[in-house]
Amino acid sequence: MASTGMQIFGFVLALLGIFGAMVATVLPNWKVSADVGSNIITAISQMQGLWMDCTWYSTGMFSCTLKYSVLSLPAYLQTARTTMVLCCVLAALGLCLASLGLKCTRWGGGRRSKRHAAIASGGCFVAAGFLCLVPASWFTNEVITNFLDSSVPESNKFEPGGAVYVAFVSAGFLFMGGFIFCMSCSGKRHGPQDMTGYSLQDYV
């Protein structure tokens, strides 16, 4: 029962991780304008995301512009787009495999098949966490480097936005969920490995 409970806990963590990664991917506030100097007159806040740039004006109006040109984007932004999308896809695949590998479910085949599915899902979660961590770290480094560069005008200085922190937290959830799924099947195996029937042992 302890192993089953850990699997369920890992599944919940992974679910939170993929939800956070999807939210971070579409949020427009990967970096927000820094309140330095007196450069902000008509605009209260400027935000830039992976797919669009948004501005919140003092009049209460909110406008966003999509980034249509891919080739004009800097390398770190192109990488962030690609890796975040891959993270969501890989994490979704991990969830499908995890649902087959959960010991408390009746689908997914015998115990050996469930064990393989659980380990595969754990690997998907860990890989997805890495794909989520890399763009968040690179993006943060670029924003901070630009902010500390004295040659950059104050009107072009930005700070890491909320989406970056969501990405970091989501990566942590995916890492923990992946490790839990891998560790839940690393113990000693008991009984036949290709059982197709179920008994009380299947839920222990």
pLDDT tens digits, 102-156: 876 766 567 788 888 888 999 999 999 999 999 999 999 999 998 888 888 877 7
Find the CATH number of the domain harbouring 124: 1.20.140.150
**Cβ-contact 174, 128 below 8 angstroms:** yes
Write out the residue range of the structural domain in which residue 146 sits: 4-29+73-184
Domain count, the chain: 1
In a domain, 196, yes or no: no
Secondary structure class of 47 (helix, strand, coil): strand
**Cβ-contact 160, 24 below 8 angstroms:** no
pLDDT tens-digit series, residues 9-20: 989 999 999 999
In a domain, 21, yes or no: yes
Report the percentage of the chain scoring pLDDT > 90.
42
CA angle at residue 126 from 25 to 81, to 5 degrees?
25
Query: Whole-prediction pTM value?
Result: 0.81
Sign of CA dihedral 152, 157, 163, 168: positive
In a domain, 41, yes or no: no
In a domain, 56, yes or no: no
- Give CA torsion, residues 186, 193, 11, 178, to 10 deg: 40
